[in-house]
Amino acid sequence: MAFTVRKARISDVQSIYDLLKHMAAKGLLLPRSLSNLYEMVQTFWVGEDESGRVVGTVALQVAWETLGEVRSLAVSEDCGGQGLGQALTRAIEAEALTLGVERMFVLTYVPGFFEKMGYAETPLASLPQKIWAVCFQCVHYPDCKETALVKDLPR
């Protein structure tokens, strides 16, 4: 199946919400509110199938000076294993480079996917910007079950 990866538009928000809500219900990522998605739509990319249906999404969040975060990566189950997750991740890594981001990180319940893309496990404490900005507000803090991984982007 062929996919198109592009920046998200406001008209994609409901589809992004539905996909993230479904994956959060399965315990694969943390949920995001619909209002948050509208506020942050400019940080999202989507993957759509040949019919134009949004079947994947990811967000690039700048965390600090030269540090970026992969957020809300999700691919519809019927499209998994076809490279869309990798294509979405590469798209935000390329965007991060144009912004001057030198290092990316992710907090995830599925570290194996990111390890295949060159990310390496790191202690959460090595990401104080994330802990202070977001983690303290999470219902799972301090008992986070996500794995932190980082990747230095090529310059």
**Whole-number pLDDT of residue 138:** 56
Per-position pLDDT tens, the chain of length 155: 789 999 999 999 999 999 999 999 998 888 899 999 999 999 999 999 999 999 999 999 998 888 999 999 999 999 888 999 999 999 999 999 999 999 999 989 889 999 999 999 998 778 765 554 555 455 555 566 788 899 999 87
Q: Which sequence spans correspond to the domains of the chain?
A: 4-152
- pLDDT for 125 equals 78
CATH code that applies to domain 4-152: 3.40.630.30
- φ, ψ dihedrals at 8, nearest 5°: -75, 155
Return the pLDDT at 137. 55
Tokens for 131, please give them.
């802990």
Q: What is the pTM of this model?
A: 0.89
pLDDT value of residue 141: 55
DSSP the chain: ---EEEE--GGGHHHHHHHHHHHHHTTSS----HHHHHHHGGGEEEEE-TTS-EEEEEEEEEEETTEEEEEEEEE-GGGTTSSHHHHHHHHHHHHHHHHT--EEEEEES-HHHHHHTT-EE--GGG-HHHHHHTGGGSTTTTS--PEEEEEEPP-
4: CB partners within 8 A, 6+ apart: 47, 48
- Number of residues that this document lists for the chain: 155
Structure tokens at 5: 């990866």
Query: What pLDDT, on the 0 to 100 scale, is given for residue 142?
Result: 58
From residue 122, alpha-carbon distances to 35, 136, 146 in Å are: 31, 19, 11
- Confirm if 54 and 48 have CB atoms less than 8 A apart: yes
The reported pLDDT for the residue numbered 136 is 47
Nearest Cα to Cα of residue 73 among 99, 106, 103, 121: 106
